[in-house]
Copies of this chain bind each other. A is one copy, B any other.
Amino acid sequence: MYNAHISADWTGSKENVHNARMKNDLHEALMDLVGVVNRPQPDQHLLKLAGVSLDRALFPLLVRVGLRGPIGVVELAELVGRDHSTVSRQVAKLESLGLVRRRAGDTDARVREAVVTPAGQAMVDAIGQARSRMYASVLAHWTEEEKATLTHLLRRLADDAKVWVKEEGGG
């Protein structure tokens, strides 16, 4: 239905690869979304709703540790797109706050796998609830099929993008 009137320029095609002015509607939408996600206000807003205080930068790390279970510094750094040294300090801060705990890896003693503590999990849960209410509000007018389709395609895009980073983006 919609693709009939959408004029996305998929610039791998030969017709427009030489045209300097190119539209990429997908990229524009993605950047708009990133702008919203990156702004500090929603996090702080959610934190206030959850009744807790936490540095803005520690926020995504705590959530990801809660999500990806035991995880090391390097893998975490790749997930959030920061240098491992930065993440190392931030995880240490989370540990000193009692929100994550670290233990040596079973099979690899080099990694110090981080997991959330009960206190950290409680915070992750509280944040997750507030965030879910936000999503429910944003998606109030969406049909179940639309939400499922978007989730499916976005998941695939994220996976494909990660593959690309590994193959070409990293070096």
| Chain A residues at the B interface, C-beta cutoff of 8 Å | 2-3, 6, 8-12, 17, 20-22, 24-42, 45, 60, 63-64, 67, 78-82, 125, 128-129, 131-141, 144-155, 157-165, 168-171
Contact = CB atoms under 8 A, between A and B. Distances in A.
Contacts of A9: 132
A14 to B, nearest CB: 11
| Closest 9 pairs (CB-CB, A-B) | A12-B136, A39-B81, A3-B148, A11-B132, A32-B158, A20-B125, A29-B154, A150-B153, A29-B155
Contacts of A26: 135, 147, 150-151, 154
Nearest to A79: B35
A171 B152 CA distance: 32
A142 B160 CA distance: 10
A71 to B, nearest CB: 13
Nearest to A153: B150
